[in-house]
Amino acid sequence: MIALGVLDNARAAQAFVDYLAGLGVKARLSRHDHGVEIWVAETDQPRAQSEFERFLADPHHPRYHEASWNNGSTSNSLSYGKPMSQMMTTVLNRAGPLTLVVMAACIAVFIPWAMKIQQPLFYALHFFESWEAFSLDQGWRLFSPVLLHFDPMHIAFNLLWWWYLGGQVEKRLGSGKLLVLLLAGAAVPNLVQFAMVGPAFGGLSGVVYALVGYCWLMGRMAPQRGIVLPDAYMSFLMIWLVLGFAGFMNMANWAHLGGLLVGLAQAVVDGGRHRR
């Protein structure tokens, strides 16, 4: 065996080893004074070295995250440090400023909501009550319902997907692209939900489904951009969408569908541009 290099993050090292395993390259980890050392067979060293340099240039690429799911081993005995510290590091590393600001805003609104300070929040942030009530001086109401979440499961589900998908988009395509998807994924689904059901709704899920459609289709049309939504996740989210329309759960189903179509449409535009 020959030493390939040292990483100061054990989780990142394990993700890289899992990725190598998917390529048919066996590697192992050992403790090092400065973190974790990666070892490979001498015959695999040239290929592994090339992949290691590629990893160092972009360690947060989704290919390594997917490899951990597909090829990961549960036998690793290395300590990853304090769980809370590692979790916060992961959250921050995989999110851009807009991703984090939206998460913070949703949490800031939810805390008083959970403390039963609900009426003033809903009054300030809810959608227009009727078509006649639409006005430019309250234009924020096209977007502000995305900040409203009504229970812990609601906000946890939405923020997890927002972080996972929005973080990818912002890290790879920039804050501007994520802002476009945020605004379009808020306004259009909110309008659709209002037109089909009425103004009593809230949540980031329309934006989440815009990101779902965008990331899934971009991963197929322009895989070189590094935007990925695994098929297993896509299948789960489509089943969730169908269950909502089947009446098993009380959700803003039309906002979900509207968001999905917004994301797919934007991916068609961007994917075609990146192909040329």
For tokens 């090092």, name the residue: 32
The half-sphere exposure of 274 on its side-chain side, counting CA atoms within 13 A, is 18
Interatomic CA distance for residues 150 and 148, integer angstroms: 7
Pairing label, strands 27-32, 2-7 = unpaired
- For residue 38, the cross-strand partners are 5, 29
Interatomic CA distance for residues 85 and 87, integer angstroms: 5
The residues annotated with a catalytic role in the active site are 205, 256
Interatomic CA distance for residues 207 and 214, integer angstroms: 10
**What DSSP string describes 18-77?**
HHHHHTT--EEEEEETTEEEEEE-GGGHHHHHHHHHHHHH-TT-HHHHHHHHHH--S---
Q: What length does the chain have?
A: 276
Instruction: Note whether 217 and 267 are within 8 A (CB).
Output: yes
